[in-house]
Structures are given as structure tokens and as C-alpha cells.
Copies of this chain bind each other. A is one copy, B any other.
Amino acid sequence: MHAAMNLILFDQPFEEIRLAADDPKTQHIRKVLRAETGSKVFLGFANGPRARAEVTALDADGSVELRVIATEPAPAPLPIQLLLGLPRPHTAKRILFEAASLGVQALHFCEAERGEPSYAQSRLWTSDEWQDRLRLGAEQSFGTHLPAVTIAPDLQTAISQLPIGLSRVALDNYEATAPLAAAIPADARSALLALGPERGWSPGERDTFRKNGWKLAHLGPRVLRVETACTAAVAAAASRLAGRAWAEQTLG
């Protein structure tokens, strides 16, 4: 999809707004969208509806005025949450973007035994940068859902804080014998998928998963980059859940 078509995501809903000249959204509307008075732009409100708005004024002081002319529901988040061994910041950036663009409901990070403590101290996490990545991902996909994000100091702590009732599958290249789709029960309505950091889960972490009732599954015999594995796992799980929902809907 052409960049100029992307949605502009706002934190708070409004009917009319005046954006200051130095607001990045103003820059986007003026320079990327090259909007004129009367132009229509696509908006979204974080975790709320999407909207079409009209540019009602491009003022001499550089500010921009918008008025909402129609709203519609945004796509619902996928019934999928991810539990991720905290990866390198460069990888985490990509995952935040991709997960938000795919509509993942929530992202639970934990420091993993084969990760590095320095990962959690990166500017990605100590500044607002992680939120910017989520926002950009949602804007890319014309979604408004911003995944909830948590960070736990270790896997067991993360698991203790997770919601219950979701089908739980840990992706693992070493000991899993079933492919992901086969590990999600046929009647599952939601899934919690765990993926390790670049160097994978440790033997102790695999035990933690088993003790907590997780199934181990794989994505095939290849070693994928963590960000590729995240997208692949979400797509495979979403496809299985959606295929069933669609079959129910059309086949009765």
C-alpha cells in the first residue's frame, strides 16, 4: 500500500482538532500527503475507531485544522498474544512494528537465559521509542489497536502474570516434534505463542514451559530470524483460528 495512504493514529478521539506547526502529524499532512484545504485524510484513534477527516484549514502559522466527517470500527485485534524472550533491540524494533501491523493483542517480553541483560537497558525501552514502533505498525496496517506490552525479569515470572484460558504453545527448534498448527487444538479460540531470543530457549526454560502446561511446537526444520519466526507463527496461528471461524460461519 502506498505510504501516502497510511492512517494517522491519534491517542485521543476528537471531532475537530488544530495541530501545531511543529507537530509531526502536521509535517506528515503538509509534506507527505501534500494536503490542501478540503483534502480528506485517514485517521485512527488508539484502540478505538477509524475516521475520515477533512482538512478545514492550513493556516499561515503552519498549523493544520481537521474535522472528522465519518467513523467506522477498526479491525478487532487478533486473538493472539506473544511471549517473547527479550531479543536484541534491533530485532525487538522489527517485532514491535510487525506485531502491531498484524494486530497481535499483547506482547509479553521476558529476559531470557540466552539473552543479554543489556537488551532491557537499550534506549528502545528506556525512552518512548517502543511505543513509536507500535504506532507505526498500526498505522501501516490501517489498524488502531496498540498491543499491550509487559516486560518481566524471567520466564517463570512472565508466565505467572499471563492471562489464563488461551491455548499455549512455545516455539522451539530443538525438542518440538509437532508443527505449530497441530499444537493448537481444533476448538481453540485464542492462542498464546512463545518465541525465544536469537539464541533460543535454554533447557531450563523448556522445562519451565512443560511444567506450566505449554506444548512445544516448531515452524519446520529451518532456523528463522526471530522477527521472521514471529510473523510466521502469528500468521500460522491466525490462519488456523480464522480458517475455523470462517468454516463455522459459512458451513454452519
Contacts and interface: CB of A to CB of B under 8 A. Distances in A.
Interface of A: 1-2, 5, 75, 78, 98, 101-103, 140-143, 173, 178-182, 198-200, 219-225, 228, 231-236, 238-240, 242-243, 246-247, 250
B198 A1 contact: yes
A181 B200 CA distance: 29
How many copies of this kind of chain does the complex include? 2
Contacts of A173: 1
A180 B221 CA distance: 23
Contacts of A243: 179, 181-182, 240
Given A2-B198, A236-B238, A224 B141 contact: yes
A200 to B, nearest CB: 7
Contacts of A250: 182
Contacts of A182: 243, 246-247, 250
A248 to B, nearest CB: 11
Given A1-B199, A236-B238, A228 B179 contact: no
A179 B247 CA distance: 10
A3 B199 CA distance: 9
Contact of A140 (B143, B223, B233): B223
Given A2-B198, A98-B228, A180-B239, 5 more contacts: A75-B220, A102-B232, A143-B222, A178-B246, A181-B240
A220 B242 contact: yes
Contacts of A224: 101-102, 140-141
Which 5 A/B pairs are nearest by Cβ-Cβ distance?
A181-B243, A232-B235, A236-B239, A141-B222, A75-B221
Contacts of A240: 181, 239-240, 243
A176 to B, nearest CB: 12
